[in-house]
Structure 1
Amino acid sequence: MDLLASLPEPARSALGLAVAFGLGTLIGVERQYRQRTAGLRTAVLVAVGASAFVDLGMRLTGPEGGTRTVAYVISGIGFLGAGVIMKEGMNVRGLNTAATLWCSAAVGAFAGADLPLEAVFVAVTVLACNTALRPLVKLIDRLPIRESETEATYEVQVTTAPGAAGPAQDLLVERLEAANYPVGAIEVEERGEEAVEVIATLTASAVEAAELDAVTADLARAPGIRHATWSIQTTD
């Protein structure tokens, strides 16, 4: 820090931009290699932009200005990151890329605040998260998952005739509560002119699959019920 303090302000600004450029490049290369939405140039521009704004804030009003600028950079990158997040049906893509952009801004902010060593530490940590943790993620993804160990939204559906929706709804709630699965909400949806579907959403966030299988099998045998099943939607 003493060595940096002895440099002229333009030299410190140039050094901060160079550090942000170099570290942003390292982060961006990994994103580009994996063909992510935000690749090399985006990561570099985020790091360099954060460095430039923080440096400008410090040049104008000192450390206090740099602190305020960092706060604005954090919120601004949040909007930028939202642009790379895409929802496709029940799936959400781009969260990791958005988080990487956020961390790239942190790298740039450290560089712009004349803290190059700390910027290197953050960049190395970001790269470790995106590379070294991948084998662990794949290992966890391959592990078998029990429904009772997941947090999710569970729905039980029965199909019946339009005129039998009321009794089917009562029967559905009765059988679920008897199995100790209280119903949080219930809906009736039309399936053409000759059938309706009664959908019960459970308040439980974890269930035993075998228990719901038994409930739906019992419901399917009930008079007036044409079909019974259940589904799961994960919360993340």
Structure 2
Amino acid sequence: MALAWWEAAARLGVALVLGAAIGFERQWRSRMAGLRTNALVCTGAALFVMFSVLIPNDNSPTRIASYVVSGVGFLGAGVIIRDRGNLRGLNTAATIWGTAGVGVMSGGGYFTVAVLGAAAIVLANVLLRSVARQVDRRETGRTNNPRHYRFRAVGRDADEAHIRALVVQSLTAGGFSLHALDSADIDNTGKVAVTARLTGHGQDSGQLEQAVSRLSLEPGISSVSWRVGNDEEDL
């Protein structure tokens, strides 16, 4: 199959314009992959598909498209940054991935689908941004509410001082506010129960589980547990 020069130019032109339109929104918001990156990704994807169209006996357009998806996946991974345990750049990587899809459609001559795809990507980045912020604000307000916990460790009576020190160290390292630390002998067992009353913010179950895991490895401690309450009186 031979493409006329005007048809090839039209496919590349549509890919370039749509990729630039997607990239403009990213550039406007000062994201890493902006105008030129998305325009080049879209145009490059169109070129690969056009190559398969020009040589139909040797290369299937669908197979070339799958290679484009794999290659763009590596490019998108390059813009993902881990910052203090959080991942940044996922939205930009997804945008690049979608831009490659627009380029594949443009290179294949499916202009209507390409335009609709580009419009969907831009609208998702623009309109859903405010929705995502509302959800984040709601979650932030929820996690800022203080939550009260009771942490209990049981071990040998002779190791009481050591157990108290381990409990304090484990809980304060997790960012909790320690309000009280009590010890009580368990009758006729030779064991002591150390109970800590503390306050945290948000979803602290992960830190508490880590504290449980650490203390459970101590030879003098036989059991460790925690629970959450509505307020300090419940503890």
Whole-angstrom CA distance in 1 between matches of 2:28 and 2:20: 12
SS in 1 for 2:109: coil
In structure 2, the residue matched to 1:53 is 48
The 5 Å alignment of 1:74-223 reads: 74-143=69-138, 146=142, 167=163, 196-197=169-170, 220-223=180-183
For 1:68, give the aligned amino acid.
Answer: R
Q: In the superposition, relative to structure 1, how do residues 19 and 225 fare at CA in structure 2: closer, same or farther (>3 Å)?
A: same
Q: TM-score normalized by structure 1?
A: 0.63
Whole-angstrom CA distance in 1 between matches of 2:90 and 2:72: 13
1:17 aligns with 2:6: no
- Which stretch shows the higher mean deviation, 224-233 or 23-32? 224-233
1:156-189 Cα shifts (integer Å, max 9, x gaps)? 9899xxx6598569xxxxxxxxxxxxxxxxxx89
Q: Count the aligned residue pairs.
A: 182
Q: TM-score normalized by structure 2?
A: 0.64
1:42-62 Cα shifts (integer Å, max 9, x gaps)? 000000000001111121126
Greater Rg by CA: 2
In structure 1, the residue matched to 2:216 is none
Q: Runs of 5+ in structure 1 lacking a partner?
A: 148-154, 170-187, 190-194, 202-211
Whole-angstrom CA distance in 2 between matches of 1:67 and 1:99: 21
**8 A contact 1:86–1:92 mirrored in 2:** yes
Whole-angstrom CA distance in 2 between matches of 1:58 and 1:119: 17
**8 A contact 1:58–1:113 mirrored in 2:** yes
1:68 aligns with 2:63: yes
**8 A contact 1:158–1:198 mirrored in 2:** no
In structure 2, the residue matched to 1:182 is none
Root mean square deviation, CA, Å: 3.8
For 1:197, give the aligned amino acid.
Answer: S
In structure 1, the residue matched to 2:22 is 27
1:76-109 Cα shifts (integer Å, max 9, x gaps)? 1111001001011122111111110001001000
Whole-angstrom CA distance in 1 between matches of 2:164 and 2:47: 64
Percent identical among aligned pairs is 35
**8 A contact 1:48–1:108 mirrored in 2:** yes
Whole-angstrom CA distance in 1 between matches of 2:16 and 2:9: 10
Whole-angstrom CA distance in 2 between matches of 1:158 and 1:40: 56
